Structure 1
Amino acid sequence: MTDTIITVQGSYSTYYPAERATVTLSVHFESDTRDGAFNSATSSAVTVRESIVDMHDSQAGPITWWASDMVQVWSEKPWSNTGEQLPLVYHARINFSAKFSDFEALARWVEETAAIDGVTISHIAWDLTESRKTALTAEVRSRAVKDAVAKASVYAQSIGLGQVKAIALADPGMLGSEASGASELARARMSKAALMADGAGVSELSLKPEEIEVASVVDARFVAS
């Protein structure tokens, strides 16, 4: 009797609370002089940097890592609404990134830092620690394989066959099928920040991180008998 080959795709995903938040901000000023833009940007950047350094501790947090770009200075000649070229305008920008392990401290810091002249909070990305992500990735991969086995077993039973035996396991698309897989294997998807006012009329900023999805997809080929 000829063996029956069954090819399936197993998947598994689950959600876990975020453990880290990386905030990205910029200090930006413009002026009619280069020195004016540069001095204003560096002055506000010093205030931002001092607040970060005071909270930085790679182990205890609340800031476990941070980075800052060198000041960028450029100029442009804007145009008026009537098509006339206006005088030269100088810009200066300094970017910062800081990773927080304490989300309450993050909320307070964002609220205080956003009030500094020239500061714009541009993005907050939520994530898991690397050790946690590694452990969860192994778990969801295992569950994706079990899902593939269960799916193949159902297919085999539906045509009157019994046990299935795996003959190939691969990342999506590597078994030569047309489908490339809907999801990248075992990836943690960073969620966007949800920034909300903490009640009407209350100025304190509240951050509500979305949970992190860790997902895995595997292609599998079985022989059924």
Structure 2
Amino acid sequence: MKEVVVTVHGEHEARVAPEEAVATLVVRAEGATREQVVSEVSAWTAPLRDELDSARAAGRVAQWSSDSVAVWSERPWNADGKRLAPVVHAAVNLAATFTDFGALSTWASEVIERDGVQFSGVEWRLSPLTRAALERSVAAEAVTVAVERATAYARALGLSDVTPIEVADAGMLTEDRGARAESARPLMARAAFSGDAGGADIRLQPTDVVVAATVDARFIAR
């Protein structure tokens, strides 16, 4: 046996503590008139904006944003199948990136008690610079795994040397393109939300961010 082509799969993942927490919430109101619901949503949103501005100035929040007020109406049906008077709805979405997780827990505990406020959840994540560096490192480790796997196959066949001829994101080797579309993105950052609510006190527990990479590689073993 002079040489053989070896095709392998390499993967690696890293788990690190999050650096940021993106909290999202919605302020909602409903009533008989547009003026009423817009007024209520505006009044309920104003203190949230002020608090987030103060938190950003103090360095507890990196940035925050909010949508303009969305307003719509509907005519619900009653139990007898008759249309009722129109009900007008209004909503504003807010998102804030916290770097101080203790401050986030305190703020969340307070805002969920307010009229019209629905706390949607938290996405734990890394800063862009940290994420980019970690993705590069994890991708390199995935290639190392592929090399080690190919070397093990070669030795099992009585061969001692492997030479790479193709390395690609999972599913992107020459004849595999399009065959595994779900694996075409090798780097994935997954985050989860966990909270423990007791009365008005919310304690948010950061969940590790997982960054994973998967590669396919082809070698000639001799």
Q: TM-score, normalised by structure 2?
A: 0.93
Report the Cα offset of residue 181 of structure 1: 6.6
1: CA distance, partners of 2:83 / 2:182: 52
Report if aligned partners of 1:183, 1:217 keep a CA contact under 8 Å in 2: no
SS in 2 for 1:106: helix
Report the Cα offset of residue 144 of structure 1: 0.4
1: CA distance, partners of 2:192 / 2:74: 33
Report if aligned partners of 1:183, 1:216 keep a CA contact under 8 Å in 2: no
Report the Cα offset of residue 180 of structure 1: 5.0
Change (3 A) 1:105 1:53: same
2: CA distance, partners of 1:155 / 1:134: 32
Aligned to 1:204: 201
The alignment yields a C-alpha RMSD, in angstroms, of: 1.6
Instruction: Quote the sequence identity (%).
Output: 35
Report if aligned partners of 2:171, 2:183 keep a CA contact under 8 Å in 1: no
Aligned to 1:26: 26
Report the Cα offset of residue 158 of structure 1: 0.8
Q: Paired residues, what number?
A: 219
Report if aligned partners of 1:128, 1:212 keep a CA contact under 8 Å in 2: yes
Unaligned runs of 5+ in 1: none
Residue 216 (structure 2) aligned to one of 209, 216, 219: 219
Q: Report whether the alignment pairs 1:115 with 2:116.
A: no
Partner deviation per Cα, 1:166-202 (whole Å, 9 max, x = no partner): 111111111123455757312212x22111036xxx6
Aligned to 1:43: 43
Report if aligned partners of 1:172, 1:181 keep a CA contact under 8 Å in 2: no
2: CA distance, partners of 1:183 / 1:140: 16
Aligned to 2:192: 192
Could you list the runs of 4 or more consecutive aligned residues of structure 1 that deviate by over 6 angstroms after TM superposition?
none
Change (3 A) 1:181 1:48: closer
SS in 2 for 1:56: helix
Q: Which amino acid letter does the alignment assign opposite residue 8 of structure 1?
A: V
Q: TM-score, normalised by structure 1?
A: 0.92
1: CA distance, partners of 2:181 / 2:142: 16
2: CA distance, partners of 1:22 / 1:34: 31
2: CA distance, partners of 1:97 / 1:106: 12
Q: Which amino acid letter does the alignment assign opposite residue 38 of structure 2?
A: F
Partner deviation per Cα, 1:196-215 (whole Å, 9 max, x = no partner): 036xxx64210012111110
2: CA distance, partners of 1:183 / 1:62: 37
